[in-house]
Structure 1
């Protein structure tokens, strides 16, 4: 049996404590993109770029473990849209991030390689910890959030997301979670929710924390009870958590989806006000350069029809260019548009009269700080927010998993098994799981 096989077997046998006594292998399998392939999709439209061609499963060396860091045996991971961006080399190849990071210090130089091990989610078991780590030890079952910061300057000490060296692990750093072993800073680690399987526990990380900051935190929209919250892509990886937070926090979600199947999932979560934008046929753009305000008005009228005449207090934005003009228009007077992404394009256009004359606010929100990530994971652990995992692939089929997300052919989150040989493993509290099984399985098979 290989060294990695021994580690895997110890974890599967429930003897995670033995992991610390087993040797760390010299190499592992990781999902990578290659620096010499960044031009492979040149001339193609974004929608035609295929992650199955650019994402590889390679044997790569285990990186050197530095102070304040941890090596984790990865049982499962998940796909985020940043993995799609990485795989299609947009908006820029991530090797530019790695090169810039590599200039920071001799230790950071490890990340500047001709391959990039990707992935910003994981669940697994701590293998080793570096000098100065005291909160975690080998054998601990963990999940990881994806905030990588240095915290050597003053800016990040009020809000770690404002650190001058803030990066997203597995996207702007190397040695990510779509692999059998991952390298993280130890302060990225959080306890694995004990009622979830490995793949379920891995799936909330990035999107759950992002939705928490964007919607709940004072750094985002600071949602309160009774707020009408318009949620784009409400059954997707990010929107599915926003929908749960709105419902859980006493707000009123208006869920925008693109099919009857996705509408059904939102209803299963407990949402009642749903707009199927495909059925309604909204065309916010007349052509590539001109939007249609009449469509904004028709969209706003639909929202008021559902809410009894109320406009949204908060618009939960992430599609970007396609929807942003409609979002600014639709928010109520004094309302908030909070945005964390631009999956349909970065160059937003909106009619500023609706913003300034109606005293609306646009807030930029990016991932979450350490405290927000911990609070979001705590809600998962308590069964107040549930994973939205719909499908899981083996590591070898990560390219297909990324293609699902790229083409919006998925619901909720798409998981990836690493050292876990099959789904359904890793549950430590069956009684708690039984109490929440309906919520846990809400997206299964969707």
Structure 2
């Protein structure tokens, strides 16, 4: 690994030099163990501690197959799916690996007693398998997390509809929270040259997810002038949705839970901000009963920001806690897009406000390659910026996941893998200087 790192850090290493490097037999990776899948049985979700389940250990380098690439990971990041994996909710990810392993002799590699997790990376290609022509050793890349087989016709109009669609590092093995990762070559995209390794690794999953959910025709197809309600607008997903709304000429109404998070939204350029904690919104009277009066109070507050207009698009991901309010406040003919349920999967809403007002609920899950490419292109052009707030070492990944689990973070948190320190990997200092304040926006709050 030291030779690989030296080659990456050297300014004159060629593609041929990278191709000539020896691939080690093992590498350090963040894992969960199959025999510990019941370790949190009986505990409430909030009591489950990722620091107890996540391990940093040496694992063998996987066999490289056709259409695949081995990437030296300089940096990665923690997403909510990393948290879910670490606490074995809503189920153990080893079931995913077992099912994938039955698909073919090659996918059998993924069915192991340990799971290398992580769905983001920025790094350097070391090797490519047969059939890979677009990428080669030495290419500096980021990876999106869509893994598809594309042997069915269903996935060829939108790869997210492939029956064998999976999220890399969550439903497959050999993820990005490691020194080496195994990816399909059609997960690779160019690393934005003005960003450091950890900054480039941070947007991948959440940026692409927000793009499809809000901008793409497969999601809400946002247009100029739309009023967009964004839950958790300073968080990992919401911070990108807020940027897309502002960059696309829409009007974001940002919902946050503290003044600190409201200030982050202001720094992004948002003006309409609702601090739900300060204003005391409680959409549920108890665990079983919602409070329509609170929906109405919330809708009235929104119209104060919009000049009396209702919401065109709701960017939904909290789920159970907020979904009834989301359906209610959306205008007639409007759209609620949902990509997650961090507060609970069993949503409840008054269907009269949906069917009688011709509203739509659109399910949105990650992004196809084209959507991920476009989202990454906007990062590379400095139109959208990373929302990295803090960086951890690989050994500290358990703490990073714990902080995300307890919502102690802002935006995204990064993890250094091979990169020895922050700030490395910048190739375009001139462009970086133009956007430095925006790049550091989440660090400075």
Once the two structures are TM-superposed, the CA of residue 334 in structure 1 deviates from its matched residue by 0.8
- 1:420 partnered with 2:415: no
Question: Residues 244 and 16 from structure 1, CA distance in 2 versus in 1: closer, same or farther, beyond 3 angstroms?
Answer: farther
d(CA) in 1 for partners of 2:350 and 2:223? 27
Q: CA deviation at 1:19?
A: 2.1
In the TM superposition, what is the alpha-carbon distance from 1:119 to its structure 2 partner? Answer: 0.2
1:234 maps to what in 2? 233
The question of 1:9 aligning with 2:6 is answered yes
Paired residue secondary structure (1:341) = coil
C-alpha distance in 1 between matches for 2:320 and 2:43: 20
CA deviations over 1:401-427 (Å, ceiling 9, x no partner):
111111111111000000001000000
TM alignment of 1:114-153, pairs within 5 A: 114-153=113-152
1:343 maps onto 2:342 in alignment: yes
Aligned equivalents of 1:400, 1:19: Cα separation in 2: 33
1:113 & 1:329 partners in 2: Cα distance? 46
Structure 2: which 5+ residue stretches go unaligned? none
Q: Name the SS for the 2:328 alignment partner.
A: helix
CA contact (8 A) 1:16 1:125 kept: no
Q: Distance in 2 between matches of 1:21 and 1:78?
A: 29
Matched residue, 2:279: 280
SS of the residue corresponding to residue 123 of structure 2 reads strand
- Give the secondary structure class of the aligned counterpart of 1:10: helix
Number of positions where the alignment pairs a residue of Structure 1 with one of Structure 2: 443
Unaligned residue ranges in structure 1 (runs of 5+): none
Correspondence for 1:399? 398
CA contact (8 A) 1:395 1:416 kept: yes
Q: CA deviation at 1:307?
A: 1.4
Q: Helix, strand or coil: the match of 2:311? A: coil
CA distance in 2, matches of 1:5, 1:11: 10
Matches within 5 A, 1:261-300: 261-300=260-299
Alpha-carbon offset, residue 445 of structure 1: 4.3
Q: Deviations over 1:24-57 (max 9, x none)?
A: 0000000000001111111111111111011110
Structure 1 Cα separation of the partners of residues 4 and 19 of structure 2: 9
Residues 16 and 140, structure 1, Cα contact 8 Å, conserved in 2? no
- For residues 136 and 317 of structure 2, what CA distance do their matches in structure 1 show? 37
The residue that corresponds to 2:175 in the other structure is: 176
Q: Residue by residue, what CA displacement relative to the aligned partner does 1:287-345 show, whole Å, maximum 9, x if unpaired?
A: 11111111111111111112111111000000001100010001111110000000111
Q: Tell me, what secondary structure is at the counterpart of 1:332?
A: strand
SS of equivalent residue, structure 1 residue 161: helix
After TM superposition, give the deviation of residue 13 of structure 1 in Å.
Answer: 1.7
- In the aligned structure 2, how far is the partner of 1:381 from the partner of 1:424? 17
2:436 is aligned with 1:437: yes
The 8 Å contact of residues 69 and 184 in structure 1, kept in 2 or not, is answered as yes
Q: Which residue of 2 aligns with 1:156?
A: 155
Task: Return the alpha-carbon distance in structure 2 between the equivalents of residues 139 and 127 of structure 1.
Answer: 6
Deviation sequence 1:131-185 (CA, Å, 0-9, x none):
0100000000000000000000100000000001000000000000000000000
Shift of 1:10: 1.2
- Corresponding residue of 1:200: 199
Aligned-pair RMSD on alpha carbons? 0.7
| TM-score scaled by length of structure 2 | 0.99
Cα deviation, 1:364-396, whole Å, max 9, x if unaligned, reads 000000100000000000000000000000000
Q: What secondary structure is seen at the aligned counterpart in 2 of 1:313?
A: strand
Counterpart of 1:50 in structure 2 is 49
Question: What displacement does 1:16 show?
Answer: 4.5
How many Å separate the matches in 1 of 2:304 and 2:13?
55
